[in-house]
Amino acid sequence: MTDALAPKLADPKKTLHGVSPMADASEGMSYLERLPRRLVTLYLPLTIILIVLLFPFYWMALTAIKPDEQLLNLEKFNPFWTWTPTLKHIEKLLFDTYYPLWLWNTMLVAVCATVLSIIASVLAAYAIVRLRYRGAQWIGGAIFLAYLVPPSILFIPLSSVVFQYGLFDTPFALILTYPTILIPFSTWLLMGYFKTIPFELEECALIDGASRWQILIRIVLPLSIPGLISAFIFCFTLCWNEFIYALTFLSSTQNKTVPVAIVNEFVDGDIYRWGSLMAGALAGSLPLVVLYAFFVEHYVSAMTGAVKE
């Protein structure tokens, strides 16, 4: 992962915003501090925080490859390392469960919901920022409010809506409900990007006789590709992370998404379940971590952009 990150992150000043020369506030006065002082005030706390943040992942990965007898015998074996890694848990995951199917379900739902939301948000954001129709500002504010409506107060009425529309226990139940979480966020993010595109470009195109649709497709979208990537990745992550809708709207084992399936299908009385449980959790996180490693700048700008707007 580090190798993949290194070229992208070579220039820390560019990582977050790539704008101002003042982005790196630190170079200025840090020469005033001597190394021992920095060790105590900076490196030591940073190391402790990093260890706490990363230890669960190390533990997850280690558990996934440890043989069962070592997992439960903490006295005889060193619990922090194993010399005899096994692929048994992962094998069990892939061949004795529906795990590949669940992974596929999650991927399908996430991709469909994300694509739908991005299309809807591009149109909405463009209309709010550039068409400036009557009441556009109010709509913009309403969309921000929609972002603040959490799924946990919506799932009960939504479950009866989903039932009424005959979507219960189908992937469509999720594909159509996830955009309610994604559209407000990505509209808000894309509004910020569209604002940065010079108005003059559009005026030129209008004079040349382009329709609004042509302007959007040929001028605005190509210029806002970084914003689109940010929105796409963040939406994809949100879909993957969503739990309560998937838990409520799906019932049969084959239709479940990874988070729900792991919680409901793996948790049985078996004392040896930990290995495959951790393997499942690890395999479910991996696609996101890989995606993140490739697009880390976009991800961070999506997160901070949405907050700063």
Residues numbered 53 to 112 that lie near another protein (CB under 8 A) are 53-54, 56-57, 59-60, 63, 71-72, 74, 79-80
- Which residues within the stretch 212-231 sit at the binding site for another protein (CB under 8 A)? 212
> φ and ψ at 81, to 5 degrees?
-155, 160
Q: Which two tokens stand for residue 157?
A: 């009425």
Q: Is 241 in the site for another protein (CB under 8 A)?
A: yes
**Binds another protein by CB under 8 A, chosen from 224, 230, 237, 255:** 237
Smallest distance from the beta carbon of 222 to another protein, in angstroms?
18
Closest Cα partner for 236 from 189, 187, 287, 308?
287
Smallest distance from the beta carbon of 92 to another protein, in angstroms?
16
Q: Is 48 in the site for another protein (CB under 8 A)?
A: no
**Binds another protein by CB under 8 A, chosen from 227, 281, 298, 302:** 281
Q: Which two tokens stand for residue 154?
A: 């919506």
Q: Which two tokens stand for residue 54?
A: 């990363």
**Binds another protein by CB under 8 A, chosen from 105, 177, 224, 230:** 177
Name which of 111 and 300 has its Cβ closer to another protein: 300
- Please choose, out of 82-90, 92-100, 217-225, 257-265, the segment that lies near another protein by the rule CB under 8 A: 257-265
Burial 131-167 (b: 16+ CB within 10 A, else e): eeeeeeeeebeebbeebeeebeebbeebbeebeeeeb
**Number of residues binding to another protein, judged by CB under 8 A:** 110
SS (H, E, C) 25-52: CCCCCHHHCCHHHHHHHHHHHHHHHHHH
**Binds another protein by CB under 8 A, chosen from 220, 228, 278, 302:** 278
- Which residues within the stretch 12-41 sit at the binding site for another protein (CB under 8 A)? 12, 15-17, 20, 22-30
Smallest distance from the beta carbon of 213 to another protein, in angstroms?
9
Q: Is 207 in the site for another protein (CB under 8 A)?
A: no
**Binds another protein by CB under 8 A, chosen from 34, 83, 96, 157:** 157
**Scanning the structure block, which residue is given the tokens 């009557």?**
134
To 10 degrees, what angle do helices 88-96 and 44-65 make?
Answer: 60
Closest Cα partner for 261 from 38, 276, 144, 118?
276
Smallest distance from the beta carbon of 84 to another protein, in angstroms?
18
Q: Is 46 in the site for another protein (CB under 8 A)?
A: yes
Inter-residue contact 98 to 253 (CB < 8 Å):
yes
